[in-house]
Structure 1
Amino acid sequence: MQTVIVGTRVLGRAFSEAYKQAAASSQYQRAQAKAGNGVGASGRASLSSGMTLDEACKILNVKPPQGGKADMDEVMERFKRLFDNNDPKKGGSFYLQSKILRARERIEAEVRPAMEKAAQEAEVKEGWNPKIYKDR
């Protein structure tokens, strides 16, 4: 009987701590969105994925993008290695795999506008050169 009572107390405490942590995380995220740390496309990505840029960089162990630019080769290399290492078929965790995927997507969402702008500027600078095919 004592074992059941002690087990119930432990589970009750664990659930209450988990609820407190989830509430604090939700409150923090709302405060970040309200403070303007999630403006524009990067803010939408943060709110939709539930992950901040800082958290994504920590998960993949990469430097945060500076001025919208990041070493995407390093990000992809770390992503592939971590994703493969956490494959559930190899005894890994599906939860960790999904966090790693969301981290990569979050960094890509942060870098995408700068990459698109750079590509557009390069195209304007290069000029429009249509490919012409001649019939024989």
Structure 2
Amino acid sequence: MAHRILTTIVVTSTRVFGRAFMEAYKQASASSKYAAEIKKGNITGASTYASNGLTLDEACRILNVKPPQAGEAQMENVMGRFKKLFDLNDPQKGGSFYLQSKILRARERIEMEIREAERKVKTDKEMKEGWNPKVYKDR
């Protein structure tokens, strides 16, 4: 009887330890990918790992649009596809909440990429031309 209890304890503790080890390994792996992207200076790539895990390529495939080229995207096209797919997957009309969520995250990911590109262009322009603060004078 004692050997059964001892075997059960060993097997159970091994399973618990194995699961905890695998979770810790997954978290360490994700952290190292995040740190590598930050080290490379790829803030957008790092935010992909940090936020929802949706890459730009996946987002473009979900909405069936072309990826933004050098920060230029046809937002009208993206928003049109988003609205159409979002409405088609309305749960009250028999659609899927999961698909609707994926469509929303895809739009947000594309918008994030465009904002980052616009910020970079603005920063580069400011670095090239120099910083010119707007001064308002009283009349």
Tell me the TM-score normalised to structure 1 length.
Answer: 0.59
Q: Which residue of 2 aligns with 1:81?
A: 84
Equivalent pairs: percent with the same residue? Answer: 57
Partner of 2:94: 91
User: What count of residue pairs does the alignment treat as equivalent?
Assistant: 104
User: Contact between 2:67 and 2:73, CA under 8 Å: does it hold in 1?
Assistant: yes
State the Cα deviation string for residues 27-47 of structure 1 (Å, max 9, x = none): 9x948657648921x124312
Which of 22, 41, 48 is the aligned partner of 1:46?
48
Larger radius of gyration: 2
Write the distance in 1 (CA, Å) between the matches of 2:103 and 2:89: 9
In the alignment, structure 2 segments of 5+ residues that lack a partner are 1-25
Matched residues in 2 for 1:32 and 1:54: separation? 18
Q: How much has 1:117 moved relative to structure 2?
A: 5.2
Between the aligned partners of 2:48 and 2:106, the Cα distance in structure 1 is: 10
Structure 1: which 4+ aligned runs deviate by more than 3 Å? 29-38, 116-121, 127-130
Question: Is 2:112 aligned against 1:114?
Answer: no
Q: TM-score, normalised by structure 2?
A: 0.58
Q: Distance between the aligned counterparts of 1:91 and 1:129, measured in 2?
A: 56
Q: Distance in 2 between matches of 1:70 and 1:86?
A: 24
Partner of 1:15: none
Amino acid at match of 1:46: T
Where relative contact order (Cα < 8 A, 6+ residues apart) is larger, the structure is 1
- The alpha carbon displacement at 1:63 in A equals 0.5
Aligned counterparts, 1:1-136, within 5 A: 30=30, 33=34, 36=37, 39-40=42-43, 42-47=44-49, 48-116=51-119, 128=134
